[in-house]
Structure 1
Amino acid sequence: MTSTSLLNTSRISRPGLVFFHTSPAHIATFNRLRDELAPGLAVGHIVREDLLCAVRKAGTVSIAVELKLEEALNEAVRAGATRIVCTCSTLGGVAERADVPGAHVMRIDRPMGEQAAWIGGRIAVCAALPETIGPTLSLVEDEIAKTGRFTTVQARVFDGVWEDFREGRLRDYHEGIAARLRDVAMTADVVVLAQASMAPAAEICGDVGVPVLSSPVTGFKAAIADMTPVVLSA
């Protein structure tokens, strides 16, 4: 998907809360969270798969990608968005730094990073894409600096699982991650799942003896913390 279009999944013509994704798979996840945590809240979605593809091809976030992301965010504002949540951890930091007058832009994983920093100890940051590790490590280290706590951070990339996600084999994707989490947890005090798509793996692996943090729920709660849900008539 290379054009920016706002998918409105509410009955409000101009939703104020918009989620920016790099995969359409996340739309159902965040609609479900909306229904559970804030029924009636107007929510919209933008999907730009092309931006993550460009990052993967180049191996880094180029200036061209930064500009396209900023343009997409501002287009969302023109469509009525007042709060935009970037659910892509690879682009989250870029989204936060973008010049987007008229809207508050946040990354979905910042509350998770803050939580991991306060738990402290040995933090294991896990990702299915190598391009995501750097941005998530920077986020966690930024939050650690705010706490002044002593921690160690290790990075783990789970090779071979991303193709399952790309091909829509979500069960295989999550089971592959869950199998690796059990090993990671043996040398960690807290495990961070860098990508929102990894979240269901935490439920599959069960109790591994340490907290396994994911971003969708905590990020959604932070996004709506000071918003008043609009109650819609049936």
Structure 2
Amino acid sequence: MPTLGLIHNSPMLAPVFNEIAARIMPDVRILHFVDESTIKNTIAAGWLEKATMRQVIRLVGSTFDAGCDVALVTCSSIGPAVDMAAELYEQPVLRVDRAMVEKAVATGRRIGVVATLATTLRPTADLVRRVAAEQGKHVEIIELVCPGAFDAVMAGDGATHDRIVGEGLTEGMKGVDVILLAQASMARVVASLEGAVPAPVFSSPELGMVRAAEVLRGLAR
């Protein structure tokens, strides 16, 4: 049976990805690998440290040692370390946000990137620039961090998180062609806004898992 290894920085993400997997890849075995240090140390430092990069690379290796055919890292903040891991292993190593960014660059020129953490916003915006360069397209990136939203959700105040993110999406993204959510946890807010968001919104979990399913099918051929 084909096996996908999912590397998370929070145990709360496992059910989200299990639900997607059940819909789009029911014939794939899913193994979850969780290490909260990768995001907590990155937030504390304010950037992605070399020690965290090495830890991400070790985690990717652990998925392959456990029998996984493909590794998918579900955190955008550690994206540069995922790119390094992809160079070091023979098996496919995927960033959860790559497919989302490719779709956004193909969709419009003014791309909004919304996050609740600067440490997540930067890698996502950098990936937009890189994909645009690869595709020979000129894009304008409008970056928005929703202040206070991350602290609220970490304190268990989901309502305040959703209100702050909702205001950012409806007020801060006017005039863009497409909006990217740098964090998967923000997707539920879009669903609650019922058409008030001024542009199409792309979130990484669904598109990232579709990409992983495509890669797994390619390996099986």
What's the TM-score once normalised by structure 2's chain length?
0.90
Give the secondary structure class of the aligned counterpart of 2:78: helix
Q: Report how far residue 108 of structure 1 moved.
A: 0.5
Instruction: Specify which of 186, 211, 221 is matched with residue 222 of structure 1.
Output: 211
1:36 deviates by 1.4
2:109 aligned with 1:121, yes or no?
yes
Q: Within 2, Cα distance between the matches of 1:34 and 1:172?
A: 30
The CA distance in 2 between the partners of 1:43 and 1:20, in whole Å, is: 11
Q: In structure 1, what residue type is equivalent to 2:15?
A: A
Percentage of matched positions with identical amino acids: 29
Give the superposition deviation at 1:172: 4.0
Match of 1:213 among 202, 207, 211: 202
Helix, strand or coil: the match of 1:17? strand
Residue 82 of structure 2 is matched in structure 1 by: 95
SS in 1 for 2:77: helix
Structure 1 residues 171 and 217: CA distance shift in structure 2, 3 A: farther
Counterpart check, 1:184 vs 2:152: no
Describe the shift of the 1:31–1:65 C-alpha distance in structure 2 as closer, same or farther (beyond 3 A): same
- Separation (CA, whole Å) in 2 of partners of 1:131 and 1:150: 24
RMSD, aligned CA: 1.8
Inter-CA distance 198–214: structure 2 relative to 1 (3 Å threshold): same
Q: Which has the higher helix share?
A: 2
Instruction: State the TM-score, normalized to the length of structure 1.
Output: 0.85
In structure 2, relative to structure 1, the CA distance for the partners of 1:103 and 1:159 (3 Å cut) is same
The alpha carbon displacement at 1:218 in A equals 0.7
Gapped regions of structure 2 (runs ≥ 5): none
Contact 1:20–1:86 (CA<8 Å) still a contact in 2?
yes
The answer (yes or no) to whether the contact 2:129–2:139 under 8 Å persists in 1 is no
Q: CA deviation at 1:102?
A: 4.2
Query: Could you tell me which of 126, 129, 142 is aligned with 1:138?
Result: 126
From 34, 42, 46, the equivalent of 1:47 is: 34
Equivalent position of 1:60 in the other structure: 47
Question: Aligned in 2, Cα 1:32/1:170: closer, same or farther, shift over 3 Å?
Answer: farther
Q: Given residue 122 of structure 1, which amino acid in structure 2 is its aligned partner?
A: R
Query: CA separation in 1, counterparts of 2:34 and 2:191?
Result: 26
- Does the CA-based 8 Å contact 2:69-2:216 persist in structure 1? no
Q: Matched residue of 1:224: which SS?
A: helix
> Deviation of residue 100 (structure 1)?
4.3
